[in-house]
A and B are shown apart, each in its own frame.
Chain A
């Protein structure tokens, strides 16, 4: 189980001409990248444009990617450079948001960022978020702990196993079952509402 093996296997497929594998990489990292770019630009729509540009640059540069660093690290650098260039070219000074989920200041800043979102996107994003939160609340304690440690704290399966005093296989199973439970609730909205909102957008 090598670190970044998942991304690397997808990257290798893209390098061999499988464009579908790149879709998977974009799906996995689009939110993280948009969040990253939003340290430099206020507008979520603009952040999405920059993230999109970064992904395209990454795709074009992918033949040169040798796997010396993790794919996301490489993508991160491209996104940062793209964002900085975009800011410079638009003659704006970059805004460094030190996003800290737990600080009030951060919440306030994030709240201001939300102002520029379209109403449809806001509604749908809030809906998704509330569904996920409700689903997490409904999870059994062991599943909830496992998924939160993974997604919120970013712990590896081994670290979660140590924290929960159980085998790694159990952690994998718990996280999977947690995801499935959340996904069951999310699927309906996602397949119906999300598509409709995208058409509107």
Chain B
């Protein structure tokens, strides 16, 4: 029995013991002084065989470290070993990030209106004292005023300057839709293609940038 234990210790010293056995033996090793002394001699034998001539085989490092560590605070249980992230989560999170970025960017792009042609939403336009200095904020403010937060592009305003050219928007969506399903991407692009030039930028786009525009968007624009 003891010989088997010592044999396991020898294998553990060489990192050749199974993990489950290591767990059990590590527990014993940390408490059993005799086993620990044997472990230490195994290390000395290894150092002697390797002829580490500059190294004192009776190094006092271990004893001094043990004394210092003894006065250190005990780790009160550590976080469990890190789990490997679930595989399906990677593409899903990538798609979510890509969709989020695309949606935010589209909102931002729509707000990039030259100051001279900036059109303020009717409720804000009614207050002359309010001057929109950041064009990007105008549509967002209009959105907030009209209802709860949404990732849908606000209803179109009939003004030429407020519209992002269809080609630019299409290019942008294509560039950021690497994670979108091909069919959905095609649907979105075909909606750009079929819409009239003045209406292309008015198509509401959902978060994943892949849904068909609602029918009433077109009628609303007209």
Contacts and interface: CB of A to CB of B under 8 A. Distances in A.
B129 interface: no
A30 B43 contact: yes
Interface stretch (B59-67, B107-115, B181-189, B211-219): B59-67
Interface string B43-60: 111111111111111111
Given A38-B55, A63-B78, A51 B61 contact: yes
Interface residues of A, number: 85
B45 A151 contact: yes
B61 A52 contact: yes
Contacts of A60: 72
B19 A30 contact: no
A84 interface: no
Contacts of A13: 26-27, 30
A26 B25 CA distance: 17
B39 A157 contact: no
Given A9-B23, A31-B43, A151 B61 contact: no
Contact of B48 (A21, A133, A156, A172): A133
B48 A5 contact: no
Given A6-B12, A151-B45, A183-B38, A34 B61 contact: yes
A163 interface: no
A49 B6 CA distance: 32
A198 to B, nearest CB: 6
Contacts of A38: 54-55
Interface in B1-40: 6-7, 10-19, 22-23, 25-27, 29-31, 36-40
A183 B58 CA distance: 15
A176 B66 CA distance: 27
A55 B29 CA distance: 19
B49 A34 contact: no
A173 B7 CA distance: 7
Interface of B: 6-7, 10-19, 22-23, 25-27, 29-31, 36-66, 68-70, 72, 74-78, 81-82
